[in-house]
Amino acid sequence: MFRMILWKEWKENLWKLLFCGVVSAVFTIMLFRIRIIPDVSNCLVISFIQMFVVPIVYSLDIFSGEMSNRTIYLLFKIPVPRWMIFFSKFIVSAFGIVVIFLMSSILMEIMAQGREAPILYLSGINMLFGAAALLLFTWFCPFGCQSRSEAGSLAIMFSVFIGWAIVLVWALSCNVAWAARMVPYSFILALDKDFNLVEGGITQIPLFILALVIACYRYVSIRRYL
């Protein structure tokens, strides 16, 4: 049954993968061909935009779509535990985000051909941004899983972006290292040699699980549609 739900989510969200994939590919090819700015800057610009746009595209209707289309009544009547429904949505979105970043990082390496930056350097940057994007999307889930409209989801996603940005600015300005490591954006700080990527990763894993557990609990406990 889980496979069927997974398949349903995959079919419903395939256009997001196509959209983000095509747009990322087109802009990567274009910017790396015209080369007005250096390859590393191109990579940073593309990755930075991807980090915000890809989670937004996935978050817009992943949960709220079922409610605004009123299909949630049908979905909740299927004899499947609700946590499976939640995880099918999350897994499909997370897979899509990973594939998009993986594809764009490979494309960047192909386009740059190591002419200005060492091989795998650009893809490394892009994947760090990808990890941040995945974490941001994960943090959207606890707050957005009960959202009823696209506008609500959008507002929640922006709140997550801004909220973590405020935490990051505070942590960096007050030199609170442990707080800086908690922020999803901290993966980008790994570009700086002073930041320990392993420590950051270790801090992020429990937070990632915590966010998922809370999101799952909130999704399971939706009452108003029963």
Partner 1 sequence: MKIQAIIHQQISQLKWQILVCVGLVMVLPVEEFIVGLKDGHGFSGGITVFIAFIIAPLLAGLIACSNVQAEMNDKLYLFWRSKPAGIKLMVAIKYFVGLAISIFIFACPVVFGFIVTFLYNEKVSSGMRMFYIPLCFVLAIMIYSLCFGLNVLIRNTARGWLIGILLTGFFLLLPFLLPLNHKDVFSVFVLLTSRYLIFIIIISVLSFVLSLFATQYDWHLKTNLKSLLWTIAGLVFVLLMLFSSQVANIKILEEKEIQTSFHNENLLNYIGDKVVYKQNEYISTNNDKISLSNVGGTMGQAIPAGLSDGGGRYNHDVYPHDGRLIKQVGDDYYCFYIFAHGGIVKTDRGSSTIEYHGATLYVSKVERSSWVLVREIDLSECLDENVYNVFMAMRIIENKLFVFVDNSLVTYDITNPEDIQQVDAKINVVSMQRYYVFGSAFEKGSEIEIPIVPAEGISEQEKIVLSIDRFYNARNMYESSIVDIFNGEISFYGYNFSTDCFQRYEVMYREPYVIKCRLKESRQSTFLEGLTKQRMNKTFVKNGKLYCVADNTLMVFDIHPDKGIRKLGHFVRLDYRIEDMAVLEDGNMVLHLRWDHLFSPANSVEKEKNYLYLLKGP
Tokens of residue 100, six digits? 């998009």
- Provide the 10 A C-beta neighbour count for residue 10: 15
**CB 217 → partner 1: shortest distance, Å?**
27
Q: Compare residues 151 and 202 and give the one whose CB is closer to partner 1.
A: 151
Q: Compare residues 21 and 201 and give the one whose CB is closer to partner 1.
A: 21
- Provide the 10 A C-beta neighbour count for residue 73: 11
**CB 122 → partner 1: shortest distance, Å?**
9
The CA distance from 151 to 160, in Å, is: 14
- Residue 162 near partner 1 by CB under 8 A: no
- Residue 38 near partner 1 by CB under 8 A: yes
State the number of CA atoms in the 13 A half-sphere of 95 facing the CB: 13
Q: Which residue in 1, 4, 14, 15 binds partner 1 (CB under 8 A)?
A: 15
The CA distance from 186 to 51, in Å, is: 13
Q: Compare residues 43 and 171 and give the one whose CB is closer to partner 1.
A: 43
- Residue 160 near partner 1 by CB under 8 A: no
> Can you say how many angstroms the Cα of residue 131 is from the centroid of all Cα atoms in its chain?
7
Letters for 170-199 (x = contact with partner 1 by CB under 8 A, - = none) are: -----------------------x------
Q: Compare residues 126 and 204 and give the one whose CB is closer to partner 1.
A: 126
Q: Which of residues 60-99 bind partner 1 (CB under 8 A)?
A: 60-61
Q: Compare residues 178 and 192 and give the one whose CB is closer to partner 1.
A: 192
The CA distance from 224 to 72, in Å, is: 11
The CA distance from 105 to 127, in Å, is: 7
Number of residues in contact with partner 1 under rule CB under 8 A? 25
**123 touches 108 (CB < 8 A):** yes
Q: Which residues neighbour 15 within 8 Å (Cβ) at sequence distance 6 or greater?
A: none
List residues binding partner 1 (CB under 8 A): 15, 19, 23, 26-27, 30-31, 34-38, 40-41, 57, 60-61, 116-118, 121, 150-151, 154, 193
